Chain A
Amino acid sequence: MYDYFGEAAGNRIIHMGAGVAQVGDPYNLQVRTWPYRPAGAQGQATFRNLVAVLRHVNGYNIRVTPVVDDVARSPTTFSGGPPSGGATEQVVRCLAWIQLPGNRIEAIVETLTLLGETELIDILCSAVPIRVAE
């Protein structure tokens, strides 16, 4: 709360830990998982979907990108307003359909705009093994 930066190429004193915007270039939360191999190191599965579970207090705007066998596939974006029904926070499930076969999958989840406190609770993956080979 009371931590400050001194600017390297300017004259400003910058307050850390305030709001969801920053001085200078914008920032976003980005995470990437390690590969998930539901059918083993040499197996094959059909990846059905990825679900990013988020908690937010003022709306969300995120993108979920599956990476199947090291190739980034089409992303899905999700957005919504602040929690409804008088709640001060809300948990949402952002389900991205994949429907692709492969050996392994990674998930990239990133916010496109930070609207308020945003928590990544979990990332889930549904996959049906085709050929299991540990």
Chain B
Amino acid sequence: MTVAGYPTRSLGPFVRGVVDAANPLGPLDGLLRYARNAAFSGVGRLQARPGTQATLQLVVDSVSHFPMTSVCALTSFGDRCLAVGHIASQQKFFLYWLDDLLTGWYDVTGAFTPGPLCLPVATLWTVAPNPDKVLIAEGLNVAYIAHNNPAGVFATQKFDASGAVAVLSGLTADLRGAGLETTFFHGVVSFENHLWGWGYGSHAAGDTERPELLRFSTPFFGALSAVDNFAVGHRVRSRRDTITGAIVAGDTLYVGLNYALWPITGFGRNSWDKSRPLDNSEGLAGPYAGVEARGGWFYYWSHRGPLRVFGRNAPEPLWQYIENAWQGTLTDGDIIAAYDHHNDLVLWIYQNATNGAVRAIAGFDVVRNVIVGPDGDIGLGVRCWGFIPPATIPAPAGPPTVPVTSTVGAHVATAAWTPGDTNPTTVTQIEIRVQGTAPWIIASASIPSGQNFFVLTGLLPDTAYEWRVAHKRGLQFSAYLGPVAGTQFATGHTLLPPVGITARVVGYPNASGFLVYYVELFWVNTGEATDVVVSVEGPDGAPPASGTVTVVKTVAPGISTYLHPLGAAPAAGTYYAEMRAVQAGLTSSPYAPVAPIGATYP
């Protein structure tokens, strides 16, 4: 693009994503140095990613409501889901049986109680001081639950929900010909209608840990026996070949070791093939470090960084894009891979155990094949991730209620309501028209859950309007709220003033590198979309009266900052500022703030 003789260069669109370490003289068109909290949408749309909302809370019981101190596992289970919570003060792990929409919990009889506080359905392990990782495999209404660090103490559990009353019991197996014994798998996974467990030998002396051993059941989650196993890796009983995790992606069970990745494919127990590793250089960092993404691709984190693989092809490293992002990661095994199905984004999340910082150390858009990130801020420490699609999607629980119209100016008004449905997947649609017979115009069809207001803009002065609002979930609408008295209003002739005004004296380097001082003003435009007249003077011994400060600049609509130059050596004291919105033909807004705001130097 060229503007009137001055060459103007487009640095985007940034469809190639991010590389955080590159030769700066190389071809960098369309690339960013970083893009924090970004996601791609459509054809190369770089957007701020959506946020998060809290749903259920896991507590110990209905009396004390002691909260869990960590949520260690989360997974779909039948038409519902399971969660595992750990409470440090009691040193226990609890199992929770929740509904598919995360609105409440079930007891052992399947009786449902709405949340947000949820009670456990069973106690998994006691005398367990640490919130270790927990892995869950599903098979025919039975959940198999393994403590990742069983140490011969925390037995693999079996949650049977097939009967009228759900039952939790230890998983037993005859793994050495001595009858059924308790098992202590380090992890479990369901693959081709078999239960797979790893890391455990048998009760035979010295056989409680087999780092490389992968066992599988008889079909349809039948018995485990001594003969049904694979020794994955190149060595027997070697911790160098420890199985770190096993995750199904597409038609392949990927078994990750410290420094190798072994695929298992086939069409049942008589054809399973694990004879060749895919990679003997980079393995799987931890049991949560890999995730299946769109199309059956497996994205995982190794001790070198992120990789991906499909089928039995060679794993493809992705770390060259984000060389700086993951350096200094102390405990690879704590990395959590998550797949954001809505944004096609694989995220690897890491919480520094020392300083508590939580980072998305990498994000990979699996559709557009680009890295976004690094270094997004998740906002809180994350222990696990789960994909819990709903079994059914209900209509919104009810329509919005209690309409209020406030902050009415010449071109804007604020509509507010009380939500009738607070589910995170519910959005709100608001429509407006000139009172009477004019057609409804959609002002927004995507007001997110948790936002119960909308600023209506672009209105004509001195005109009567009305709005209506409805919730939307999937393609299902609630009834409309409005038009009623609370949704009807008339705009005025006087503009609203800017809000959120702050002022400071700050120095910025000039072209020669010397500091020049300014009164720097920030404000927020209200949506009136008019010029803003800025007034600054000083230093003054006392605050001037409102409306008397010297006008210095008329700022164009949209801009919400102004630098008033003071020179390289400004006089010490307090400078004062105020501003108001102006537009020809309308009454200017009152001055804002109510009393001129001061900024002091030095």
Contacts and interface: CB of A to CB of B under 8 A. Distances in A.
Interface in A18-69: 18-38, 41, 48, 51, 55, 57-59, 61
B52 A34 contact: no
Contacts of B55: 4, 12-15
Chain B interface extent, by class:
35 or more
B463 to A, nearest CB: 13
A74 B563 CA distance: 9
Interface of A: 1-38, 41, 48, 51, 55, 57-59, 61, 71, 73-88, 92, 94, 99-101, 104, 106-107, 111, 114, 116-129
B387 A120 contact: no
B301 to A, nearest CB: 17
Given A27-B377, A83-B457, A18 B383 contact: no
A14 B54 contact: yes
Contacts of B73: 6
Interface stretch (B5-13, B187-195, B584-592): B5-13
A92 B558 contact: yes
17 contacts: A3-B340, A4-B55, A6-B384, A10-B71, A13-B57, A13-B74, A14-B52, A17-B49, A18-B53, A20-B51, A75-B561, A79-B524, A79-B558, A111-B48, A116-B444, A116-B448, A126-B6
B442 interface: yes
A80 to B, nearest CB: 5
Given A6-B386, A24-B379, A13 B58 contact: yes
A124 B560 contact: no
B411 A4 contact: no
Contacts of B45: 55, 119, 121
For the complex of A and B, list the 4 residue pairs with the smallest distance between their C-beta atoms, beginning with the closest. A81-B527, A84-B458, A6-B71, A24-B379
Given A1-B341, A8-B382, A124 B9 contact: yes
B7 A13 contact: no
Nearest to A128: B6
Contacts of B387: 2-4
A2 B341 contact: yes
A125 to B, nearest CB: 5
A123 B12 contact: yes
B602 interface: no
A114 B7 contact: no
Interface stretch (B34-42, B136-144, B268-276): B34-42
Contacts of A30: 34-37
B382 A5 contact: yes
B381 A8 contact: yes
B226 interface: no
B566 to A, nearest CB: 13
A17 B427 CA distance: 12
